[in-house]
Amino acid sequence: MLIEDNLPASAVSPDDGTPSSLRSWLAVVAVAIGAFAFATTEFLPVGLLPKIAAELGVLPGTAGLVVTVPGVIAAISVPGLMLVAGRMDRRRVFLLLTALLLASNLISAFAPSFAVMLIGRALLGAALGGFWTLATAASGRLVKPKDLARAMATILTGVTCATVIGVPLGTFIASFASWRASFMVTGVLVAFALVAQFFFVPSLPSNVALRLRDLTELLRRAHPRKSMMMVGLVFGAHFSSYTYITPFLLHNAEFTMANITWLLLGFGIVGFFSNFTVSSTVTPNLKTSMGAMVSLLLLVLIALPPLQHSSTGVAALVLAWGVAFGALPLCFSVWIQRATPDAPEAGSALFVSIIQVAIAVGSLVGGVVVDQIGIRADFLFGSVLAVLGLAMLASFGVTRKTVPAEAVACSACTD
């Protein structure tokens, strides 16, 4: 990936070649556990939408608001939270946000109505954006610069582990207990993440407070602005369709809930390996890796509806989808960090905001399409967004100078 020529030389941090310490990697693992807790809570309703809709008396598309609302709140809260946080120690912010996540899970688990359920999910949104902004920006502070890609892959493994374990486990628990029990178990996971962060994440003082001007100035630069648009289109393509994958598998492909649980588990497992495989190739082949994964996502969205009556074909395509989504968050995270090395927290804040906007708008529009037209049309909508994302990726030229991945990380390692 390429950065703009006018970036200051000070944005590039030297690397003394020494390996990151055990303490540094324990901090990374603690943040990864938090990422796992957040991603599990965020994606948990994907496998529970039919049960939530039935018990709380709403349509499946309306039930999709439990995915949309956190995205809307997160997109709105990210810049404001980072501005309010100012120079507060980032470790303290991590702990406050994880505590808020715990409250969200408890409210969702005991919600007596759909409105209360949305309040609980709104609390998730309030914490979600800030956490991901800090997690992606802090990865370069926790380890040596040369370990940035691996540290970021480890943190993002929390997302893939959430799809490997979290979403299928939630669906499994709901199959013999209730969807409420799934949220209660997730609450226990969040409590464990809170303890891990308390003991292992070091003090991360912020010497420079994020300003609104930092965000606006970043958006004035063409390269970061186009990058954010590309991220929004591709994530919109994914979440407009993936939010409703369980209704599709249940009603269109006629899978049983037990089979859906196993298939979602497979989705997460292949995503887990895809994430780590790409982490070893992303530095020299970032644009190619992104193009391949977005193309694979496009192929899946186009092919699923015509093959809905082939159990083998549907299963293979869902697993291919897992490969694509397992790699894309890491690819985009590295892309954005390389595009904004002089303003990592501002870049991370905008990155997280655009992802949450994509999740919110994608799942909302997808829900309307599902309720009014059908899931087949929803997958077509996702395909169009994926095509636009590919076109945006192709629009990036090759004339700008390249900065190695090691240069992106901050030198404030915890060693």
DSSP assignments along 93-162, one per residue: HHHHHHHHHHHHHHHHHT-SSHHHHHHHHHHHHHHHHHHHHHHHHHHHHHS-GGGHHHHHHHHHHHHHHI
Q: How far apart are the first and last CA of the chain?
A: 28
* 193 or 210, higher pLDDT: 193
Q: How many domains does the chain have?
A: 1
DSSP 207: S
Confidence of residue 298 (pLDDT cuts 50, 70, 90): very high
Q: What's the CA gap between 190 and 68, in Å, rounded?
A: 21
* CATH number of the domain where residue 22 is located: 1.20.1250.20
Q: What is the pLDDT of residue 317?
A: 94
224: its two tokens: 């970061």
Q: Is residue 101 part of a domain?
A: yes
Q: What are phi and psi of 143, to 5 degrees?
A: -135, 175
User: Is the pLDDT confidence value at 413 over 60?
Assistant: no
Q: Is residue 5 part of a domain?
A: no
Q: Provide the b/e sequence for 59-77 (b: ≥16 CB within 10 Å).
A: ebbbbbbbbbbbbbbbbbb
142: its two tokens: 């926790």
Model confidence, pTM: 0.68
Q: Residue 52's closest CA among 185, 186, 161, 182?
A: 182
160: its two tokens: 């893939």
Per the DSSP assignment, residues forming a β-bridge with 402 are 2
pLDDT tens, position by position, 184-204: 988 998 998 899 888 888 887
Q: Is residue 110 part of a domain?
A: yes
The shares of helix, strand and coil residues in the chain, as percent rounded to the nearest 5, are: 80, 0, 20
Q: What is the pLDDT of residue 397?
A: 67
Range of the domain at 20: 13-205+212-407
Q: Decide: residue 259, CB within 10 A, 0-12 exposed, 13-18 middle, 19+ buried.
A: middle
Q: How many residues does the chain have?
A: 415
Radius of gyration for the alpha carbons in the chain, expressed in angstroms and rounded: 20
Chain-centroid distance, C-alpha 310: 30
* 100 or 403, higher pLDDT: 100
Per the DSSP assignment, residues forming a β-bridge with 2 are 402
Q: Is residue 413 part of a domain?
A: no
Amino acid residing at 191: A
> Reduced to 3 states, what is the DSSP secondary structure of residue 168?
helix
Q: Is residue 415 part of a domain?
A: no
pLDDT tens, position by position, 54-97: 888 888 778 888 877 887 787 777 666 766 666 677 788 888 89
